[in-house]
Amino acid sequence: MRYAVLADVHANLEALEAVLEEIQKEKIDKIVCLGDVVGYGANPTECIAKLRSLNTCVVAGNHDFATIDKLNVDFFNSYAREAALWTRKVLTKEDAAYLGTLKLVDTVDNFMLVHSTLYSPELFEYIQTSYDAHLSFSNMATPLCFLGHSHVPVTFIQKRMVTFTMEPKVKLDANSKTMVNVGSVGQPRDENPEAAFAIYDSDDNMIWIRRVKYDIEKAARKIIKAGLPEILAERLRYGR
């Protein structure tokens, strides 16, 4: 099986469409998404519709839950809070109901999906260090897990100890557990503004982090036109 793994779309329709166009060129059997379909960007409804039309398995992100008041927006910075409150106003009742059905953790075939951590997914904490990863490895029921949230692609591997790699190509080891942060479709933060996603081939035990160019200026103009904070448009240009 070949899977496309997406995360942190953040209502960026231009980035999502570019990624989906790239996915069409690959022999992908299933698409999964690690949450934060909405938030920050100007096209939440359209992004939800795109993923639903593809029968995508989606887990909940903190922005998804904040948008439907299942997470307190007071924990957000001012820009994220403003975007969440704006998104609440533009979502349809059907969109809100859909976001409310999303699980915090799910399992697809031989791997797990989570937006943040496996040890406290409802708190939406970050996995940024080997120790953070160690805590989630203890809660893994499968050899492989995909996550998002930090918007930075990185792979953590647990064998005798926990190590990490930023390499875009990873060969899975049958004697190890692996957690892969696939980066962000709609708001990369690794100083590369191109949309990020992963391809996982379960037959070859290979994972690739892929980057795709998209119309950043169009997405930025939409954010400003919607009256969202200008910094949310500006950061797209720099990938941070």
**pLDDT of 36-67, one tens digit each?**
999 999 999 999 999 999 999 999 999 999 99
- Name the residue range of residue 177's domain: 2-238
What digits encode the pLDDT tens for the residues 184-238? Answer: 999 999 999 999 999 999 999 999 999 999 999 999 999 999 999 999 999 999 9
Task: Name the domain count of the chain.
Answer: 1
8 A C-beta contact, residue 178 and residue 144: yes
Is 160 a residue whose pLDDT tops 90? no
Structure tokens at 44: 């939440």
DSSP letter string, 183-212: --SS---SS--SEEEEEEETTTTEEEEEEE
pLDDT number for residue 116: 97
Burial of 24 (0-12, 13-18, 19+ CB in 10 A): exposed
Matching residue, tokens 């953070």: 132
What CATH number does residue 70 fall under?
3.60.21.10
